[in-house]
Amino acid sequence: MPKPYLSDRQIVAFKHVMECGTVSGAAQRMLTAQPGVTRLLKQLEHDIGFNLFERQRGRLVPTPEARLFYREVARVWTGNEHLRDTARRIREREVGGLRISAMPLLGMVFIPDVLADFVPAHPEANIELSTYRSEQVVEEVITQRCDLGFAILAENDDRVDREAFRLESLCALPAGHPLEARETVTPGDLAGERLVCFERHDPLRMALDRLLERESIRLRQRLEVSLALQAIRLVRHGLGVAILDPISARAFGSNGVTLRPFSPHLGEDFALLTPRDQPASRLAQDFIGLFRRHHADLSRTDGKR
């Protein structure tokens, strides 16, 4: 036996009659005339092959089959309403998920600041922020375990799409240090200074060491630390000067520390990574746009503290 043809109008008419108890009530809901609703019910009964209502003392009384049928209609109707609501919320960018993997420099400080502006505009979005070394971030993006990745790339990788961002270098000085008078600190200005620096394998430390060696700059002393927070605190106590990225400087600087641009650029660049040939969701596009604005603000405020 062929499956019955059920039109949307037939189902709507049946649902309203069941809920209102009268054809007139259903007609008012559907903004149509009563004969139209009656005709839709007769067509539905013909198509499904069983009676839906019996007339008793001038009233329509649902048959047991109608009550059983209505339970299924209500279940499907609820599902359709959920689909409509989901589509609306996606359209309005309220739902969905955003998985972000980031190297520690960004994942610990900068991206949480971006999310502080992003989340209120997307209150129902599910956000995941994970922090890994850059090599692992790349793998997370390639395997699509995340939507966006932030990492330092040693070389181009054609398995991901990338957008490059630059982090200019800053020199952190103790308050009252003579170099405060300089608009920009250069390698020659570090001669005879005590330098608070990162561990030998740190990319910024390696770039700075090469620069100082190339220009034959002799330091008074080195204090080696693992974290930017440690470097800033030592600078604040007057124990030396430090070259660091603007994100760390903004997060841990301010009181007791003066920031000045450092030239030349030491190559502290990173990339925004997305899966190759995988279009970014609207939620991801929103976040990327906000991230760009925050990064632009970072560049405009470098050295202004």
What range defines the domain where residue 228 resides? 170-261
Residue 99, pLDDT above cutoff 80: yes
Per-residue HEC secondary structure of the chain comes to CCCCCCCHHHHHHHHHHHHHCCHHHHHHHHCCCHHHHHHHHHHHHHHHCCCCEEEECCEEEECHHHHHHHHHHHHHHHHHHHHHHHHHHHHCCCCCEEEEEECHHHHHHHHHHHHHHHHHHCCCCEEEEEECCHHHHHHHHHCCCCCEEEECCCCCCCCEEEEEEECCCEEEEECCCHHHHCCCECHHHHCCCEEEEECCCCHHHHHHHHHHHHCCCCCCEEEEECCHHHHHHHHHCCCCEEEECHHHHHHHCCCCEEEEEECCCCCCEEEEEEECCCCCCHHHHHHHHHHHHHHHHHHHHCCCC
Same domain, 174 and 149: no
pLDDT of residue 153: 82
**How does pLDDT run across 255-275, given as a tens digit for each residue?**
789 999 999 988 778 999 998
pLDDT of residue 305: 40
pLDDT of residue 124: 82
Name which of 257, 240, 264, 238 is nearest 304 in CA terms: 257
CATH number assigned to the domain comprising residue 133: 3.40.190.10
CATH number assigned to the domain comprising residue 81: 1.10.10.10
| 136 — pLDDT class (breaks 50, 70, 90) | very high
Strands 97-102 and 148-151: what pairing? parallel
Q: What is the pTM of this model?
A: 0.63
Same domain, 101 and 157: yes
281 domain-assigned: yes
Domain count, the chain: 3
Out of 39, 71, 91, pick the residue that ends a domain: 91
pLDDT of residue 300: 61
275 domain-assigned: yes
Name which of 223, 210, 228, 121 is nearest 172 in CA terms: 228
Out of 63, 91, 119, pick the residue that ends a domain: 91
